[in-house]
Structures are given as C-alpha cells and as structure tokens.
Amino acid sequence: MTLTTRNRLLGLALAVLVYVLDQWVKGYVTGTLKLTRDGDQVVLLPFFNLTLTSNYGVSLGMFTAQSMEMRLVLLGATALIALVVLVWMLRERLSADILPLGLVLGGALGNIKDRWTYGFVVDYADLHFGEWRPFLIFNLADAAITLGVLFILARSFLSREKRDDNHAAPVNSSGPATES
C-alpha cells in the first residue's frame, strides 16, 4: 500500500469515526438521557449543559427549512457539499490535507443523516458563561466540521507555495514537498 493510499484510508476512517461518534452521542442524549423535546436539559457543568434543540437550518441556524420542499433542497445541497468534500479528499495526497477533510466529511454525514431521518439536525451542546453563549447550541458533527475547516484555513495560510524568480515549479515555503 502506498503512503497516499494509506493517508486516504485514514481520512475515510476518520470520517467514519466522526459519523459513528456523532450518531452515538445523539442517541445517548435523546435515548439514555431522555432529552426528547426542545429545551429539555441536563446541567453537566456551570458552563456546559446538554440542551436539546431541533435545528431546521444550517450554520448558525441560517436558511431555515420550514417546508418539506425546502428540507429536501437543504438535504440535497448538503449532500452535494459532502460529495465535493469526498472527491477533494480523494484527490489529496498528504495526511495534513486529508485528515481535516475527513473531519468535515464525517460531520457533514452525521448532520445529513439527522436531516434525512428527522427533518432537522439534533443539537445538544450548550456552552455558556452565565447568560452569554459564544455559540448557538451545536453537536459533535458541527464541532468536527468547524475544526476541519479551521485546519484547512490554517494550512492554506501557513503553507503557501511560492515560485522562484525563474517561474520554476512551486516551492513550499517550509521546504520541499514530502508526503506525511
């Protein structure tokens, strides 16, 4: 097995792990803890609760889908984005590029499964400091997507390729490109 194949398999395995963990936690919150209605809550720490919320929208609750047609459009759009991420991941060679895409893909699949099954995404993680909430209520899939995107952005800003004066092949600013 080549290093590139191994990296891609690790990215796919990470996506599966994120998906499975996301679905397990959602099942635990709605099943074992019996948080079944929006607003049901378990206080874990003074700054962190499990608070069930049905999210009919996407990022930050935007693009709320109230009708069945809008839900299907949202489902199709997120599925298309997940497919693009999968293709992108399978085109990359380096683990530093593949693993963040695995986080995004796994999180997207977890939220797509919810939207398909329930018509909304199950959110439950409620981080707060008193009444101030730096984030809307979210889930593990959202956290994985966010971390993956942040890693992708950081990598794009920190490892820009530069061309020499003769316009030869790109040279990575951190040295010759190698697979990791």
Q: Is 40 a catalytic residue?
A: no
Six-digit token string for 45: 């720490």
Catalytic hit among 22, 97, 114, 123: 123
Catalytic hit among 22, 97, 114, 142: 142
Question: With DSSP H G I counted as helix, E B as strand and the rest as coil, what are the percentages for the chain, rounded to 5?
Answer: 55, 15, 30
What strand order describes the sheet that includes 48-55?
Answer: 41-45, 48-55, 121-127
**CA-CA distances (angstroms) from residue 98 to 58, 124, 152, 179?**
24, 28, 9, 11
Q: Is 22 a catalytic residue?
A: no
Q: Whole-angstrom Cα distance, residue 107 to residue 101?
A: 10
Residues serving a catalytic function are: 123, 142
